[in-house]
């Protein structure tokens, strides 16, 4: 086993072979499958040559590198080393079952061969004895004088030294066994084996005596073996005595039995210690996990040490130790799962579950230093319970936030007492302001990330981030449901289920919904995610040249933030759609923006007061009022507020651009658009361009307005009239639009002529009107 561990540490690690210079600089991509394996083998050939010089190789690769690149190279090689060690461990575990099964079959075959050999030796000795007996009988037929002389010679001959030893051997061995003098008994048995072989060769003892001696040796070996096995099974046998018994059994030629008894003894002691570790006797789950882990992993460590000391690193015994250790680790994991993690999973106790996992991984790491990796076995059992605890924790966040949303008054305040404070906003030194449900959501998410951090070894990073996206999306749905218009949406009501949401009636409350969502998505949730080690490592790594793994993590984190933003966009679009519909339609369902309002102007006999249409005045008034509120709510996030106002303008303009009924009446209706209607239509569009420049109008919407003007002027041209001759000068449109803007915004006005001559805004507006007029004419 030691050799296996050593090989896993000494192999070059990595997924794409030996690190070339460009990989250190650019972090080249890793391969996979058979292609990656063949490339790895090709790149490792340089290390297998007898003439390979590590110092020369490193010097050749690093000679042109600066300190930063060398550090990056070292970091990359460390990552490859860890990946290689993990891959080696998986490969070894994948083949353990077949290897152990083959080893046992070989051991059984060796024992059968030894039995056959002993049987053949016995049969050979029996045949040889019978043959000698026949010869002795034939000799008795000789002359009586020879027979008498032979017997007298035997009787008179003194017993030889070997015969004396043969006579004393059984009694002496019985004494040694009775006194448990194991080493001396082993020496006596070895001596008996040697003497039996020597006597057979020199024919000092008869065949019958040799057979009797061998039977005595065999019987006493078995007796000693049983005596050692009995001693090894005693709970009172200490570690030294256990190792001595196993070593003696191995010397007797029964190594597999010795190793099995060694592991059985450790298992017996472990089971006894486990029985004394009761879940009810500990104050909390972590204490039970720690106590149980100490018992189990200490037993595994001692068994590993005893096996190495007695049997060395022989593969068959090392594999048996690994199998036994895996079984004990599995037992440990099941006990912790039953008595600690199961309750954590049911109650959503993610922190308690994380503590149990950390304790287990800490003990596993101690054995990994000795080449035995059990973390995979333990984590495989822990994973379902931890995932359940993760889901329960996320569900608790969702339920708690929903409960608070039912009573949330949607007023932004600083963090209230009882909720942990969090990091200050990037806008400045002021802590961020949220409504009560958003404060609770943020606080619980922070705790969640702190608890889930130690569980990343279970490779739960993806499910953790996805789970957070899910509950944030649920919270966004709650905010959408707080918009008054959502009550008319049956699909939204079905999604709410039995949840009760307090409506956001005023503009301030509705903007507070957006402030909650934007601050959580842009700052607070990404900052909370920084508590995850993998995310933090990705974010802190500002080096432009990174390995593929870090680049993937950075890409995944960016995609996660984009998903958060898309959820905020859903709320923003609902907000803008609600306010746009409120501007366009009346409560009875009629529209404030129809073709008739322009077509009927030429049939109106009353004097016309030239101002932008009411719907566009209300649009600007709403934008102006909301912009003032957003200035206080979105401190440091003015871009979000600007995009929100632009989106509201875009919603109204796109509705006009895509309203088929409106354009069918303008272009194909029974009554054509007249000069006054064109003038009002042109004034409305120019008014939107003027008040939206730089604040409420994007380039895309500006182009849409130009296209709308083109379409209206084309419809007017279809009547045979010239639009340019029907429209007043550009200055007239600027004056009317600016007067309306000043009146709605409440700004003091100066003389019209002075504004037209000196105002930069008037200059820009004039250019805009001129460009629109020329665009429409073309």
Q: What Å distances lie between residue 734 and 442, 537, 697, 716, 759, CA to CA?
A: 48, 56, 17, 22, 12
Structure tokens at 352: 């308690």
Torsion sign across C-alpha atoms 457, 460, 462, 466: negative
More confident residue, 343 or 205: 343
Report whether 182 contacts 248 (CB < 8 A): yes
DSSP assignment of 410-470? ---BPPPTTS---PPPTTSSSPP-B-HHHHHHHHHHHHHHHHHGGGGGGT-HHHHHHHHHH
Q: Say what the pTM is.
A: 0.65
Dist. CA 107–CA 101, nearest whole Å: 10
Distance CA 521, CA 503 (A): 22
128-155 pLDDT, tens digit each: 667 655 544 444 444 444 444 444 444 3
The pLDDT-based confidence of 602 (bands split at 50, 70, 90) is confident
pLDDT at residue 759 is higher than 60: no
Token pair recorded at residue 749:
């006005």
pLDDT in tens, 401-417: 889 888 899 999 988 75
**Nearest residue to 564 (alpha-carbon basis) of 533, 531, 518:** 518
pLDDT at 180 over 50: yes
pLDDT of residue 694: 80
**Is the per-residue pLDDT at 25 higher than 90?**
no
Structure tokens at 764: 């820009």
Predicted pLDDT at 18: 37
**What is the Cβ-side half-sphere exposure of residue 370, based on CA atoms within 13 angstroms?**
19
* pLDDT tens column, 428-478: 445 788 999 999 999 999 888 888 876 766 666 557 888 889 999 999 999
Q: What pLDDT was estimated at residue 100? A: 74
Percent of the chain with pLDDT over 70: 67
CA distance 79 to 541: 15
pLDDT for 553 equals: 65
Rounded Cα distance between 342 and 382, Å, is: 10
* pLDDT for the residue numbered 675: 93
Once rounded to an integer, what is the mean pLDDT over residues 372-395?
A: 86
Distance CA 358, CA 533 (A): 15
Question: How many whole angstroms from its chain centre is CA 750?
Answer: 65
Cα–Cα dist 171/193, whole Å:
16
pLDDT surpassing 70 at residue 545:
no
Q: What is the spatial distance between Cα 764 and Cα 770, in angstroms, rounded to a whole number?
A: 10
Whole-angstrom distance, CA of residue 205 vs CA of residue 163: 7
Dist CA 388 CA 381 (whole Å): 12
Q: How far is CA 462 from CA 346, 452, 459, 481, 618, in A?
A: 22, 12, 7, 29, 47
Total Cβ atoms within 10 A of residue 244: 18
Please check whether residue 545 is in contact with residue 467, taking contact to mean a CB–CB distance below 8 angstroms: no
d(CA 738, CA 740): 5
User: pLDDT exceeding 90 applies to what percent of the chain?
Assistant: 27
Name the more confident of 84 and 743: 743
DSSP three-state, residue 585: strand
Q: What is the pLDDT of residues 312-369, one digit of tens each?
A: 878 888 888 899 999 999 999 999 888 888 877 777 678 888 888 888 888 998 888 8
pLDDT at residue 462 in the model: 59
Residue 593's nearest CA partner among 584, 602, 580 is 584
Residue 78: pLDDT band (50, 70, 90) is: confident
**720: left (phi > 0), else alpha (psi -120 to 50), else beta?**
left
Distance CA(183)–CA(450), nearest Å, equals 59
User: To the nearest 5 percent, what fractions of the chain are helix, strand and coil?
Assistant: 75, 0, 20
109-131: buried (b, 16+ CB within 10 Å) or exposed (e) per residue?
eeeeeeeeeeeeeeeebeeeeee
Half-sphere exposure of 689 (CA within 13 A, CB side): 29
Q: What angle do CA 695, 700, 702 make, to 5 degrees?
A: 60
* Pair of tokens at residue 244: 């001595």
CA–CA separation, 772 and 628 (whole Å): 29
The Cα–Cα gap between 558 and 426 comes to 19
Distance CA 767, CA 775 (A): 12
Closest CA to 433 of 451, 447, 419: 419
What token pair was written down for 367?
């054995």
DSSP character at residue 11: S
Find which of 96-100, 367-371, 700-704 is predicted with most confidence, using mean pLDDT.
700-704
According to the model, what pLDDT value does residue 171 have? 64
Q: What six digits make up the tokens of 328?
A: 């004990």
Query: CA of 580: how far to CAs of 489, 618, 619, in Å?
Result: 16, 10, 8
Nearest to 246 by CA among 174, 310, 162, 327: 310
Most confident of 235-249, 455-469, 531-545, 747-761: 455-469
Number of H helices, E strands in the chain: 34, 0
Q: What is the CA radius of gyration of the chain?
A: 46
- Give the per-residue pLDDT at 573: 94
Q: In the prediction, which pLDDT does 185 show?
A: 66
Enter the tokens of residue 257.
Answer: 């039995």
Write the pLDDT tens digit of every residue in 712-721: 999 999 989 9
Are 370 and 304 in contact by the 8 Å Cβ rule? The answer is: yes
Mean pLDDT for all residues in the chain: 76
CB 614 within 8 A of CB 592: yes
Greater model confidence, 213 or 675? 675
């Amino acid at each position: 086993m030691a050799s296996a561990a050593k090989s896993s540490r000494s192999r070059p690690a990595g997924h794409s072979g030996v690190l070339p210079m460009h990989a250190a600089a650019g972090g080249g991509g890793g391969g996979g499958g058979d292609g990656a394996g063949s490339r790895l083998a090709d790149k490792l050939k340089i290390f297998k040559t007898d003439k390979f010089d590590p110092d020369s190789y490193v010097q050749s690769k690093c000679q042109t590198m600066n300190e930063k690149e060398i550090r990056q190279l070292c970091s990359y090689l460390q990552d490859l080393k860890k990946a290689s060690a993990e891959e080696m461990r998986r490969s070894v575990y994948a083949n353990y079952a077949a290897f152990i099964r083959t080893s046992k079959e070989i051991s059984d075959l060796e024992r059968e061969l030894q039995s056959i050999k002993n049987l053949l030796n016995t049969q050979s000795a029996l045949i040889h004895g019978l043959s000698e007996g026949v010869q002795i009988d034939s000799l008795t037929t000789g002359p009586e004088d020879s027979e008498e002389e032979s017997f007298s010679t035997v009787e008179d001959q003194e017993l030889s030294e070997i015969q004396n030893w043969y006579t004393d051997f059984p009694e002496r061995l019985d004494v040694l066994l009775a006194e448990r003098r194991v080493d001396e008994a082993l020496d006596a048995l070895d001596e008996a084996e040697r003497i039996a072989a020597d006597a057979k060769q020199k024919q000092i003892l008869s065949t019958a005596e040799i057979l009797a001696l061998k039977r005595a040796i065999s019987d006493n070996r078995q007796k000693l073996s049983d005596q050692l096995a009995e001693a090894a099974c005693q709970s009172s046998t200490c570690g030294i005595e256990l190792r001595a018994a196993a070593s003696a059994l191995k010397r007797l030629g029964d190594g597999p039995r010795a190793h099995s008894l060694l592991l059985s003894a450790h298992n017996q002691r472990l089971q006894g210690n486990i029985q004394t570790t009761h879940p009810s006797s500990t104050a909390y789950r972590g204490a039970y996990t720690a106590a149980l882990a100490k018992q189990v992993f200490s037993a595994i460590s001692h068994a590993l040490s005893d096996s190495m000391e007695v049997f060395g690193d022989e593969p068959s015994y090392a594999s048996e130790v690994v199998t036994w250790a895996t079984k004990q680790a599995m037992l440990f994991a099941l006990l912790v799962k039953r008595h600690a993690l199961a309750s954590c999973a049911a109650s959503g106790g993610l922190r308690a579950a994380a503590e149990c996992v950390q304790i287990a991984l800490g003990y596993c790491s101690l054995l990994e230093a000795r080449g035995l990796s059990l973390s995979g076995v333990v984590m495989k059992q822990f994973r379902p319970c931890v995932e359940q605890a993760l889901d329960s924790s996320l569900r608790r966040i969702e339920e708690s936030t929903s409960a608070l949303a039912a009573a949330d008054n949607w007023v932004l305040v600083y963090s209230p007492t009882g909720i942990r404070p969090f990091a200050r906003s990037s806008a400045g030194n002021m802590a961020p302001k949220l409504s009560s449900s958003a404060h609770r959501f943020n606080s619980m998410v922070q705790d969640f990330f702190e608890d889930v951090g130690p569980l990343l070894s279970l490779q739960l990073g993806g499910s953790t981030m996805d789970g957070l996206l899910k509950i944030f999306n649920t919270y966004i749905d709650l905010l959408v449901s707080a918009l008054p218009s959502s009550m008319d949406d049956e699909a939204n009501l079905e999604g709410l289920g039995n949840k009760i949401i307090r409506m956001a009636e005023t503009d301030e409350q509705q903007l507070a919904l957006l402030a909650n969502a934007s601050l959580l998505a842009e700052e607070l949730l990404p900052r909370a995610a920084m508590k995850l080690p993998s995310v933090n490592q990705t974010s802190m790594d500002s080096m432009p040249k990174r390995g593929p793994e870090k680049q993937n993590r950075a890409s995944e984190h960016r995609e996660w933030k984009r998903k958060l933003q898309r959820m905020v966009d859903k709320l923003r679009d609902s907000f803008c759609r609600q306010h746009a519909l409120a501007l366009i339609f009346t409560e009875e369902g009629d529209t404030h923006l129809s073709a008739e309002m322009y077509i009927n102007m030429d049939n109106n006999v009353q004097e016309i007061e030239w101002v932008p249409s009411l719907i566009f005045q209300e649009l600007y008034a709403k934008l102006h009022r909301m912009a003032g509120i957003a200035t206080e709510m979105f401190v440091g996030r003015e871009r979000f507020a600007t995009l929100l106002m632009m989106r509201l303008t875009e919603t109204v303009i796109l509705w006009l651009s895509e309203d088929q009924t409106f354009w069918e009446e303008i272009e194909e209706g029974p009554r054509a658009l007249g000069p006054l209607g064109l003038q009002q239509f042109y004034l409305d569009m120019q008014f939107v361009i003027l008040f939206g420049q730089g604040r409420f109008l994007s380039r895309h919407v500006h182009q849409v307005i130009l296209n709308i003007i083109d379409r209206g002027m084309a419809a007017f041209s279809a009547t045979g009239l010239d639009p340019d001759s029907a429209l007043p000068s550009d200055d007239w449109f600027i004056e009317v639009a600016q007067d309306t803007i000043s009146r709605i915004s409440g700004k003091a006005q100066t003389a019209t002529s002075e504004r037209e001559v000196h105002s930069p805004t008037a200059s820009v507006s004039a250019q805009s009107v001129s460009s629109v007029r020329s665009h429409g004419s073309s």
